[in-house]
Structure 1
Amino acid sequence: MRIAIVVLGLLVAFFGIVFTLQGFGVIVSDSPMTNTTTWSILGPIIAVVGIVLAVGASRRRG
């Protein structure tokens, strides 16, 4: 179960990074998320939540 939570955390962090890059207009230029302040702010928050989830699950005792 711990490995699944780590993988889920890494997946959430990946999507947070993608949302951030789309919010800044780096990845896709014709997306509704492109150059949007909302995703520029929410993306890093989502990425940090994913990292905290992954690190927390990996450090938990089994």
Structure 2
Amino acid sequence: MKGWLPFAGGMLAVVLGAVWTLQGLGVLDSGSVMDGVTLWAIVGPIVAVAGVVLIVLAMRARGRR
């Protein structure tokens, strides 16, 4: 049960990072203040990569059991 929280957090970070990236690039037009803002096109991939790292760490923790 130790690895489920980082795994869930990683999945959430990947999804949020993808949404923020698409909003920052202007691909996903949601009427948000984030639409077309370059900052979110930079922050999004960073958050998504951090999420992937969390997922990998969670999977490795589950594999050691």
Q: 1:29 Cα deviation (Å)?
A: 4.9
TM-score with structure 1 setting the length: 0.89
Structure 1 runs not aligned, ≥5 long? none
- What is the CA deviation profile of residues 26-59 of structure 1, one whole-angstrom value per residue up to 9, with x for unaligned ones? 1125221011110000000000000100111111
- 1:38 alignment partner AA: L
1:18-57 pair list within 5 angstroms: 18-57=19-58
The 2-side partners of 1:56 and 1:29 are apart by 33
RMSD: 1.2
Structure 2 runs not aligned, ≥5 long? none
Residue of structure 2 in register with 1:13 after alignment: 14
The 1-side partners of 2:57 and 2:5 are apart by 12
Q: 1:24 Cα deviation (Å)?
A: 0.5
- 1:23 alignment partner AA: G
The 2-side partners of 1:59 and 1:46 are apart by 20
